[in-house]
Chain A
Amino acid sequence: MGSAFPNILSWILWFPLIGIVALFFIPRKNESLIKWTALIVTLIDFILSLILLLNFNFSDPGFQFVEKKKWLNFINSYYFLGVDGISVLFVPLSTLVTLLCILISWDSIKKKVKEFYLALLFTNIAMVGVFCALDLLLFYIFWEAILIPMYLIIGIWGGPRRIYSTIKFFLYTFVGSVFMLIAIIYLYIKYGSFDYTVLVKQSIPFDVQKLLFLAFALAFAIKVPMWPVHTWLPDAHTEAPTAGSVILAGILIKMGGYGFVRYVLPLFPKATVYFAPLVLTLSVIAIIYAGLACLAQDDLKRLIAYSSVSHMGFVTLGIFSLNHIAIQGAILQMINHGVVTGALFMCVGVIYDRTHTRAISYYGGLATTMPIYAAFFMIFTLASIGLPGTNGFIGEFLILLGAFMHSKVMAVFACTGVIIGAAYMLWLYQRVFCQKVSPNVIGLQPMKVNELVAIIPMVVLVFLIGFYPNLLLDFMRSSVNVLLMNFK
C-alpha cells in the first residue's frame, strides 16, 4: 500500500510548487519557456497521480497513502493526508484538468502570461489539497486558498463583465465557507480534534447536528451550486477565460459534491436523513429550473453553465438518495461532468478564440467549415445528454435508479430533466453546427494541435467510462459501502 512510492500524496500535492518557484525566476519576456515549464510540471504531476491510482488497493475501504505529521501542536491540528475510494479519483482528475487547461490556453492567453501560469499551478495545489486533506483545518485552508487564484483568473483574463462576476464569485463562496469555519471550530472545541477520522467516530447530538449540517451544507451548496444559491455560477462561467471555466466546471464545483459525501454524510448522519427531503427537492428544482433556463440562453457559455447547475442537481439528488447505487452514481457523475462539461467549455473556447463572440445566433452551419471540431462537439453533446455508450449515461442512470429506489416522485421529476437536457443540447447543436452556413463562420481556421491534444483525452475518457464504468466504480465501491453503514 503506497510502499512503491513513499509520501506520494505530498509529492502530488507540492510538486507544482517546483514549477511556481521556477516561474518566479524565468524572465517574463520568455513566454514559451514559461509555458513549457508549466506544462512539464503539470504533466509530471499528472503522471504521479496515475501512479497513485495504480497503487490503490480496491478492497481496502479505509484511507490509504496516509501521511500524518504534527503541524500545529497547540491546537492539535495535523498535516494529515490520505485518500480513499471516494476521493482518490478526484486527484488525477484535478491534475488532468490543470494539464489540459495549460494546453488549451497556450495561444489564447496573451497578457500577463507568467501570472496566468502561476495562478494555474497554485490552483492545482489547492485543488489536490482539498481532496487529500483529512484534517478539517487543513481542508479549510485549501478550500479557501483556491479563491485567490480563481479570483484572479476570472478577473484578469475574463470577458467584458469579468470584474462583476469575479467579485460575485468570491463573495458568494466566501460567505458560504466562513460559516463552515465556525462549524469546524465548534467541532474542534467540542471534540478536541480537527482529525476527520476521530470526528467521524463521535456521536454528535441531533440538535447540534442540524445546525452544523446547515453550516457545512451552505458552504457546499454554494459551491455545487444548488438552487437557489447558484446565481454566481452562470456569471463566473460565462466571464471566465476558457481555462477558468474548465477548472470551475471540472473541479471547483465538484468540491461541493465531494464535501457532501466526505464530510456531511459521515459526520452528521441523523441531520442528513432529516434534511434529505429538502435537499432532494432543491436538487429536483435545480434540475428542471436550470434545464428550462438553458432553453432561453443565447450565450454558449451561459447555456453550458446552466446545464452544469442542472447536472449537479443530479449529483446532489444521488448523494441524498442515500443508497449505494445512487452515491456511486453521484461520484461517477461528478467525474463525468468534469470531463464532459470541461470538454464542452474547451470546445467553446476554441471557437471563441477565433470569433470572439459567444452568441449562438452568430453561428450557423459550422459543421461545414470545421468538420472535425463539429464531430468532437457532437460527442460531448451526446455525452452530456447521456446517450448509452457515453459516460454521461452511466452516471445519470445509476443516480436515477438509486433515486427511484429512494423516492419515486423525485425520480420521475428528475427524469423530465433528462428530456429537457436532450432538448437544449440538441437544439444548441442544431443552431450552431447545422442550419444555413452563416457568413460569419466562413474561413475559420481548423483546430490547432494544442487544442486537439487537449480535447482528445476527454474523448477517450468519455468512451472508456461509457463502455467500462467498472474501471472507476471499482475504486469507490468498498468506501461507499462503509460510508452507508452510518445509515443502517
Chain B
Amino acid sequence: MGNQLSIANLNFSVIGIEVLLIGVATLIFLIDKFVKNKNYAFYISILVCALISVLLYYSPFGEFTRAYKTDFFTITLKEFIVFGTILILIMSYGYLQNYKNLNLGEYYALILFSIVGSFLMVSGTDLITIYLSIELMSFPVYFLIALNYAYNKPAIEGSFKYFIAGSFSSIFMLLSLGIIYYFTGSFYLKDIFIKLSQQVHQKEILLAFMLLLISFSIKLSFVPFHMWAPDAYESAPIPITSFIASLVKLAALATLIKIILLGFMPIKVEIGKLLIPIILLTILVGNIMAVKQDNFIRMLAYSSIAHAGYAGLGLISADYLGYSFALFYMLIYLIMAVGIFSVLIFFANYQKEYLYIPNLAGLSKKMPFLSFLILIFMFSLAGVPPTAGFIAKFYLFMSLVKAHYVLVAVLAIAFSVIGAYPYLRVVKFIYMDEEKLPISQYKFDWSFIIPVGIASVLIILLGIYPKILVNFVNKTLFLYLSTLYIPS
C-alpha cells in the first residue's frame, strides 16, 4: 500500500459499515427533537443492524490504511456482535415501553455508537486505533448508565464509578503504549511482532503488556479490577446491564486475543502465565460473592465476573484452541445473558419485587413456563450438562489440560462448584419454597418472547449438538492464524 496517503488509495468499501452506522446514529441525534413517537429510533436501529448483518456477509476483506483491516476473524466477530445487539435492542424496546423517561432516540443512537466502537476495536491493527475505539465503545455506555437517573438515583454513582474505572483503564493503556513505543518504535501490531521475534527487549515489552492487561482487565472486570462492576450493573437500565456484561466483554476479549495474536505472539506463553492468578482469583471471587446476593441483578453481576474469568482461562492456555474457546465461551455467555436478563426485564416491567431473589419463592406455581426457562438458564450458567454452559466450560478445561495446566484446570473446576450454588439457590426459591407474593397482571409480548426463545433454544441445542458453532469458531481463528504468518 505504500506510505503515501491519498484519497484515491483508500479502500472505503472496507469501512463502509462503520460509516453507515455512524451516519445513522448521528441522524438519530439530529432528528430526535422533531419526532414525537420515540419508537422510530428503535425501528431505524433494528433495520440498520439487520442490514449490517447482511452487508457483513458480503463485505470485502482488506485494509483501510495500515490501522484498520477486515478479515474473516473480524467479520465473524462483527456478526456475533450484531446478533447480540439485535437481541439487546429488542429487549430494550420492551423495557423502554414501561420506562418511558428512557425512551429517547439518544438511547438507541448511543448503543449504535458503542457498536461502532467495538467494530473498530476488533478490526484495529494498531494500538492507537484500538485505544481510541475502546474509548468510543465505552463513553456511550457511561451515558447510558447515567440515563437511568430518571428511575434510579444512584445511577449517577454507578455511571461515575464506571467512568473512573474506565479512565484508569485508559491511563494504563496509554502508559503501556508509551513504553511499547519506546522499545519498538511503532504502534503497529505487526511491527511489534517483528521486533519481538528478534528477541530484543522482550522483558520490557512484557512489562508494558502487563499494563495493557490491567487496562483490559478493568473492561473485562477481572479481579482485582472488578469493583466498579456490581454498582454499574445494578444502576444501569437492565438491557444496558446485559450489554455491558456480555457484548462489551466479548468485544474486549476478542480485541485482547487479537492483540496477542497479531503483536505479541512470541510472548504469549508468558502472558498466559501472568494471567493465572488473576483469572483464578476472578473465578473464585466472582463465585463466592455471588453466593450471598439477594438482589438478582447483583448476583448476575458477580456471576458475570466469574464467567469472564472462565473465558480468560482460554488466554492462559495460550494456544489457538484456548483462544478460540475463550471466544466461544463469551459467545455462549452472551446467549445465556440475553436469556436471563430478558427474564429480569420482564420482572422489572410487571413486578419489580421479583428482582429480589427470596421474593421469587413459589414462582413455579404461578408461572410454570417462565420458571422452567429460568431453570434452563440457571443450570446452563452453573455448567451442568446437557446445556451449552457445560459444553463451553468443557472445551476450555480441555484446552487447559492440553496446555499442561492441569492444576489450574482443577482449581478452576473446583471453584465452579462453589459457583453452582447461587444458581441452585434461585431454582430452590422458585421451585421449592411456598409462594409469597401475589402476581400482578402480565402478558408475554414479542420483545420478551424473541430473545428468550432464541436463547433457550440455542442453549439446549448447543448443549446437545455444539459441533457446528464449535467448528465455526475454530475455523475463524485457525484461518486467521494460518493467513497471518505465512508471509514471514
In the bound assembly, the distance between CA atoms of A167 and B424 in angstroms comes to 7
Task: Name the interface residues of A177-194: CB closer than 8 Å to any CB of B.
Answer: 178-179, 181-182, 185-186, 188-189
Taking a contact as CB atoms under 8 Å apart, the answer to whether A189 and B398 are in contact is: yes
In the bound assembly, the distance between CA atoms of A207 and B467 in angstroms comes to 34
Judged by a CB distance under 8 angstroms, whether B414 is at the interface is yes
Q: Considering the complex, give the chain A residue whose CB is closest to the CB of B382.
A: A174
Known: A148-B384, A178-B416. A167 touches B409 (CB 8 A): no
Judged by a CB distance under 8 angstroms, whether A75 is at the interface is yes
Taking a contact as CB atoms under 8 Å apart, the answer to whether A186 and B431 are in contact is: no
Taking a contact as CB atoms under 8 Å apart, the answer to whether A181 and B414 are in contact is: no
Judged by a CB distance under 8 angstroms, whether A299 is at the interface is no
Per a CB cutoff under 8 Å, which of B386, B398, B425 touches A141? B386
In the bound assembly, the distance between CA atoms of A112 and B427 in angstroms comes to 15
Taking a contact as CB atoms under 8 Å apart, the answer to whether B467 and A73 are in contact is: yes
Taking a contact as CB atoms under 8 Å apart, the answer to whether B385 and A74 are in contact is: no
- Interfacial chain A residues near B386, Cβ < 8 Å: 141, 145
Task: Name the interface residues of B348-397: CB closer than 8 Å to any CB of A.
Answer: 364-365, 368, 379, 384-386, 390, 394-395, 397
Taking a contact as CB atoms under 8 Å apart, the answer to whether B397 and A171 are in contact is: no
Taking a contact as CB atoms under 8 Å apart, the answer to whether B428 and A178 are in contact is: no
In the bound assembly, the distance between CA atoms of A185 and B317 in angstroms comes to 14
Chain A, residues 150-179, CB within 8 Å of chain B (1/0): the string is: 011001100000110011001100110011
In the bound assembly, the distance between CA atoms of A152 and B376 in angstroms comes to 13
Taking a contact as CB atoms under 8 Å apart, the answer to whether B424 and A182 are in contact is: no
Per a CB cutoff under 8 Å, which of A145, A151, A166, A188 touches B398? A188
In the bound assembly, the distance between CA atoms of A297 and B385 in angstroms comes to 37
Q: Considering the complex, give the chain A residue whose CB is closest to the CB of B413.
A: A178
- Interfacial chain A residues near B390, Cβ < 8 Å: 141, 144
Taking a contact as CB atoms under 8 Å apart, the answer to whether B402 and A147 are in contact is: no
Judged by a CB distance under 8 angstroms, whether A63 is at the interface is no
Per a CB cutoff under 8 Å, which of B384, B395, B465, B474 touches A144? B384
Taking a contact as CB atoms under 8 Å apart, the answer to whether A167 and B421 are in contact is: yes
Q: Considering the complex, give the chain B residue whose CB is closest to the CB of A215.
A: B410
- Interfacial chain A residues near B410, Cβ < 8 Å: 179, 182
Total chain A interface residues with beta-carbon distance under 8 A? 37
Judged by a CB distance under 8 angstroms, whether B417 is at the interface is yes
Shortest beta-carbon distance from B71 to chain A in Å: 22
Judged by a CB distance under 8 angstroms, whether A72 is at the interface is yes
Judged by a CB distance under 8 angstroms, whether A140 is at the interface is yes
Judged by a CB distance under 8 angstroms, whether B406 is at the interface is yes
Taking a contact as CB atoms under 8 Å apart, the answer to whether A186 and B406 are in contact is: yes
In the bound assembly, the distance between CA atoms of A339 and B394 in angstroms comes to 36
- Interfacial chain A residues near B424, Cβ < 8 Å: 151, 167, 170
Taking a contact as CB atoms under 8 Å apart, the answer to whether A181 and B428 are in contact is: no
Known: A72-B467, A155-B428, A182-B401. A145 touches B385 (CB 8 A): yes
Judged by a CB distance under 8 angstroms, whether B471 is at the interface is yes
Per a CB cutoff under 8 Å, which of B384, B409, B421, B466 touches A147? B384
Taking a contact as CB atoms under 8 Å apart, the answer to whether A182 and B432 are in contact is: no
In the bound assembly, the distance between CA atoms of A456 and B41 in angstroms comes to 69
Q: Considering the complex, give the chain A residue whose CB is closest to the CB of B418.
A: A171
Q: List 23 A-B contacts (CB under 8 A).
A: A74-B470, A74-B471, A115-B368, A141-B386, A144-B385, A145-B384, A151-B427, A155-B428, A156-B431, A163-B432, A166-B428, A166-B432, A171-B417, A171-B421, A178-B414, A181-B394, A181-B397, A182-B401, A185-B394, A185-B397, A185-B401, A186-B406, A189-B398
Show the binding face of A for B, using Cβ within 8 Å.
28, 71-75, 112, 114-115, 137, 140-142, 144-145, 147-148, 151-152, 155-156, 162-163, 166-167, 170-171, 174-175, 178-179, 181-182, 185-186, 188-189
